[in-house]
């Protein structure tokens, strides 16, 4: 049985803990590995190594740090199939979907290659008599990331390249459900020339998370996961004096206007609702057609596409959707479908109790389509995080907008329309952080920043892009005067530059 260990100071180690956890192939339901779970002692060891590595890495020139990122870019391109296969074996998503994850991760590495430009400061001469002022951004020290199962390579690579390029050292605590990707990322960075100890990986559960949040020598924490845990991470981390960016859950709506191209809408909803088996924080789980005719026409187009979705293991040719991550996830998703049905939702396509020939013990949930969902139902209020697309019919555009704005989450949303006025009004008024106009999953490119609103994020900074530079650095401003031989005498009033 494969044993997955921590990587500290460039070496694989089981650390101080004797606790382990099984890792599964979701398509077969079989255990594929045993994961070592660390805790306080292992986090302490990783922090001490990170602190030592910081001394050299933080004084390495930004140009040399960028060179590591350039190397990593090429290594990631050369190994993209290996990375995708590692993702798929433990997550279950199709190979093409996993390749898409690698591509979006690569974009952030490429953005980090330009760190020399991003770290340039400001300068003003003669702000006062013989006085100049300049500012720069300096690294924080040891920082950490706590990442989810649904993007085991992309989300760590949303954090690590920017944190390292800014001169910090990084401790990664990945999901216990698909941990191999994290170790592979470490190994690829090592191939790229990253010194030992600059990136450490510690596996674990809540004990490891709490150790990160409480440790006085970890200066910032990035988190992506569910809203309850995001709020916990933010509250505990801030109480310990850290910078925290904690990205939480979502309930993403797509408004479909009567003038929209419904063939385009149906295709968009299939990918946005069922890609990665719906295990995306930017998945569209709520379709909101405006008007009965729009809703009826949309349903007519969706039903055959949902019924004919090609579901299978990642290496099945033509597979469009794989299993969900665990048996617990399967049972929870199917329970929510049943609860929605009992509350009055109409199940048009039922994905419960799906069996795939040859993979009968896998964690399969079929694509599910619900109609006549209302805002008081559990399937509307909760983030299902599975292959369930719900249709909530709105009588007017205004009703649809009010529905979205009143929801506790504000991660992503979209509108499909040919009307520029409606699109502009939607983009202005909607209380959501990432908005798509005829774009179903509006995940920003790497040179913008990712982040929702309301209870989809805790903290002032989005992730990657320009926001990451500010999150992973601190501003220093230096005001300078060189002696000129002229004395002006002591001044006791607050200094000014007049």
Q: Which residues are known catalytic residues?
A: 281
Distance from C-alpha of 86 to C-alpha of 66, rounded to nearest angstrom = 26
Q: How far apart are CA 437 and CA 159, in angstroms?
A: 27
332-349 burial, b for 16+ CB within 10 Å, e for fewer? Answer: bbbebbeebbeeebebbb
CB atoms within 10 A of CB 8: 24
CB 16 within 8 A of CB 43: no
Containing H/E element for 161? helix 154-165
Secondary structure percentages of the chain, helix, strand, coil, to 5: 40, 25, 35
Tokens of 410: 């504000």
The closest of 251, 257, 250 to 394, measured between CA atoms, is 257
Alpha-carbon distance 355 to 338, whole Å? 18
Residue 446 buriedness (CB in 10 A; 0-12 / 13-18 / 19+): buried
List strand residue ranges (DSSP E) for 264-418, in order: 284-289, 346-349, 368-371, 388-391, 409-410, 412-416
Residue 262 main-chain phi, psi, to 5 deg? -70, -25
Place of tokens 């479909």: 256
Q: Record the tokens describing residue 455, joined without a space.
A: 């209870």
């Amino acid at each position: 049985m494969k044993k997955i260990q921590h990587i500290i100071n460039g070496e694989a180690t089981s650390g101080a803990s004797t606790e382990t956890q099984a890792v599964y192939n979701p398509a077969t339901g079989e255990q594929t590995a045993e994961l070592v779970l660390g805790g306080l002692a292992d986090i302490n060891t990783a922090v001490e190594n990170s602190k030592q590595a910081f001394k050299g890495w933080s004084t390495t020139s930004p140009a040399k740090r960028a060179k590591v990122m350039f190397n990593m870019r090429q290594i990631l391109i050369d190994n993209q199939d290996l990375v995708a296969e590692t993702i798929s074996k433990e997550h279950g998503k199709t190979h093409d979907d996993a390749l898409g994850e690698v591509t979006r991760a690569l974009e952030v590495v490429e953005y980090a290659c330009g760190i020399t430009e991003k770290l340039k400061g400001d300068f003003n001469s003669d702000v006062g008599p013989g006085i100049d002022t300049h500012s720069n951004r300096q690294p924080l020290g040891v920082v950490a990331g706590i990442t989810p199962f649904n993007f085991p390579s992309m989300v760590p690579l949303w954090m690590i390249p920017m944190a390292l390029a800014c001169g910090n050292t990084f401790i990664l605590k990945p999901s216990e459900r698909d941990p191999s990707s994290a170790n592979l990322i470490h190994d690829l960075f090592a191939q790229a020339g990253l010194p030992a100890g600059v990136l450490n990986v510690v596996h674990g559960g809540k004990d490891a998370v709490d150790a990160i949040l409480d440790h006085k020598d970890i200066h910032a924490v990035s988190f992506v996961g569910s809203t309850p845990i995001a709020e916990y991470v933010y509250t505990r981390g801030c109480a310990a004096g850290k910078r925290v960016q904690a990205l939480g859950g979502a309930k993403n709506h797509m408004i479909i206007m009567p003038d929209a191209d419904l063939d385009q809408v149906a295709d968009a909803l299939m990918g946005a609702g069922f890609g990665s088996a719906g295990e995306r924080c930017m998945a569209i789980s709520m379709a909101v057609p405006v008007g009965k005719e729009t809703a009826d026409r949309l349903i007519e187009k969706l039903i055959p596409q949902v019924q004919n979705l090609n579901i299978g293991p990642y290496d099945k040719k033509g597979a469009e959707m794989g299993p969900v991550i665990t048996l617990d996830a399967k049972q929870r998703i199917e329970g929510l479908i049943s609860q929605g049905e009992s509350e009055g939702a109409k199940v048009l396509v039922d994905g419960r109790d799906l069996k795939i020939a040859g993979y009968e013990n896998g964690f399969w949930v079929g694509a599910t389509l619900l109609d006549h969902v209302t805002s008081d139902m559990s399937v509307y209020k909760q983030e299902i995080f599975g292959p369930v697309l719900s249709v909530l019919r709105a009588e007017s555009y205004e009703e649809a907008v009010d529905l979205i704005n009143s929801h506790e989450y504000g991660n992503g949303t979209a509108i499909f329309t040919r009307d520029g006025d409606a699109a502009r009004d939607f983009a202005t008024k909607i209380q959501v952080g990432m908005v798509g106009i005829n774009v179903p999953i509006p995940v920003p490119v790497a040179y913008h920043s990712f982040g929702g609103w309301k209870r989809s994020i805790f903290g002032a900074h989005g992730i990657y892009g320009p926001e990451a530079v500010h999150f992973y650095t601190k501003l220093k401003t230096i005001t300078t005067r060189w002696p000129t031989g002229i004395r002006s005498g002591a001044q006791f009033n607050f200094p000014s530059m007049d």
